[in-house]
Amino acid sequence: MKILVTGGTGYIGSHTVVELQAQGHEVIIVDNLSNSEREVVDQIALISGIRPAFEELDLCDQSKTDALFAKYPNIDGIIHFAAYKAVGESVANPMIYYRNNLQSLMNTIDGMRKYNISNLVFSSSCTVYGQPEVLPVREDSPVQAAFSPYGNTKQISEEILKDSVNAYAGLNVIALRYFNPIGAHPTALIGELPLGVPNNLIPFITQTAIGLRQQLSVFGSDYNTPDGTAIRDYIHVVDLAKAHVIAVDRMTKGKGKSNFEVFNLGTGNGFSVLEVINSFEKVTGEKLNYKLVDRRPGDVEQVWADTTFANEELGWKAALTLDEMTLSAWKWELRLQEKRNSK
């Protein structure tokens, strides 16, 4: 199958391209490199032995997006990763987030309609659940008012997609709600590239251990959890990537139960911040400098996924452990350090 991957040089996109290629799919990447590097295409080719087509393009540019669809006829499916994702930045600069995340999606949908492309997998997020009342959280749990413009773009995008499948016959969408993707490819050739000071836990841990940051602040130690720190459902990015291949196959083979489906992608297990730190220290042998500080505003206390629907319907289950996640993240940080040192 011919699959267009938007945001394909990004963190999750690049891992998904590798898994698509491993299953024999032909991949076209489109990315404006606003949060990734062209070199990722070379790294993908090194891992898979196949160089994906790459188009540097801003999906907010409607005429260029149209030209892209015209250039690549007969696309069987699209996996739409392209979006900005920094929660804090979205609070400071909401218009940038609404414009980029919504316009790029709408232009993609327009292209699908014009060029008769039926299938779209969309990157959504567990952020749509806020702090769920019932854990683990199922797909039919209510969507709650978003904490940030970023989170709101995910909710609005899901609404845009729902309205689109209702209005435009032949359009199928699977929205995948990721929990907390972490880790990197086992080759350490691709991984997450955080810009500036990381907001997310894992890059902050690895950058502290390598000496780029002085100390990790553990946000909140008085939560109503066994060790007082917040709980998340961390999922290895390679497991996450594999689910995208299954989702796109499901649509191209017409196996979907409806034209708009939603799946939680997590492991189904929650780990606290301290448990993540312990795993990191155990698998790497590094001692992490951290301190317990106040809660971070806007953080939920605990959330983890009920993955029954994804397990049963997609036949997919996350396989990699927390130790494998933290070790692969560390190997990736070591590789980044090698690159920094060679500059």
Contact 271, 235 (CB under 8 A): no
Closest CA to 53 of 45, 61, 65: 45
Closest CA to 114 of 156, 150, 63: 63
Cβ contacts of 65 within 8 Å, gap of 6 or more? 57, 59, 107, 108, 110, 111
Peptide bond into 132 cis (omega under 30): no
Contact with ligand NAD (CB under 6 A) among 60, 146, 184, 251: 60
Give the integer Cα–Cα distance in Å for 226 and 33: 41
Q: Is 104 in the site for ligand NAD (CB under 6 A)?
A: yes
Contact with ligand NAD (CB under 6 A) among 34, 131, 215, 308: 34
For residue 187, the partner it binds in ligand NAD, ligand WQD, none, with Cβ less than 5 to 8 A by kind, is none
List interacting residues with ligand WQD (CB under 6 A): 85, 87, 125, 127, 151, 180, 199-201, 204, 216-219, 230, 232, 273, 296, 299
Q: Is 332 in the site for ligand NAD (CB under 6 A)?
A: no
Contact 328, 236 (CB under 8 A): yes
Q: Where are the beta strands (DSSP E) in 32-152?
A: 53-56, 77-80, 119-125
Segment contacting ligand NAD by CB under 6 A, of 10-18, 19-27, 162-170, 296-304: 10-18
What three-state secondary structure class fits 332? helix
Contact 64, 57 (CB under 8 A): yes
Which residue in the list 129, 150, 178, 234 is annotated as catalytic? 150
**Active-site residue, 150 included:** yes
Degrees to nearest 5, angle at CA 25 with 261 and 172: 20
Enclosing H/E stretch for 220: none
Q: Is 333 in the site for ligand NAD (CB under 6 A)?
A: no
User: Considering the complex, what minimum distance in angstroms separates the CB of residue 182 from ligand NAD?
Assistant: 8
Q: Write each residue from 120 to 159 as x if it is in contact with ligand NAD (CB under 6 A), else as -, in one continuous string.
A: ---x-x----------------------------------
In DSSP notation, 245-301 reads: HHHHHHHHTT--SSSEEEEEES-S--EEHHHHHHHHHHHH-PPP-EEEEPPPTT--S
Query: Residue 91 or residue 292: which is nearer to ligand NAD going by CB?
Result: 91
Structure-token pair, residue 212:
């780029």
For residue 296, the partner it binds in ligand WQD, ligand NAD, none, with Cβ less than 5 to 8 A by kind, is ligand WQD
Closest CA to 15 of 78, 65, 74, 81: 81
Contact with ligand NAD (CB under 6 A) among 18, 20, 41, 58: 58
Q: Is 316 in the site for ligand NAD (CB under 6 A)?
A: no
User: Considering the complex, what minimum distance in angstroms separates the CB of residue 287 from ligand NAD?
Assistant: 26
Contact with ligand NAD (CB under 6 A) among 3, 4, 11, 18: 11
Contact 71, 44 (CB under 8 A): no
Segment contacting ligand NAD by CB under 6 A, of 34-42, 163-171, 209-217, 245-253: 34-42
For residue 83, the partner it binds in ligand NAD, ligand WQD, none, with Cβ less than 5 to 8 A by kind, is ligand NAD
User: Considering the complex, what minimum distance in angstroms separates the CB of residue 229 from ligand NAD?
Assistant: 19
User: Considering the complex, what minimum distance in angstroms separates the CB of residue 295 from ligand WQD?
Assistant: 7
Contact 275, 322 (CB under 8 A): yes
Q: Is 85 in the site for ligand NAD (CB under 6 A)?
A: yes
Contact with ligand NAD (CB under 6 A) among 149, 181, 191, 268: 181
User: Where on the chain is the footprint of ligand NAD (CB under 6 A)?
Assistant: 7, 9-13, 31-36, 58-60, 81-85, 100, 104, 123, 125, 178, 181
Residues marked active site are found at: 150
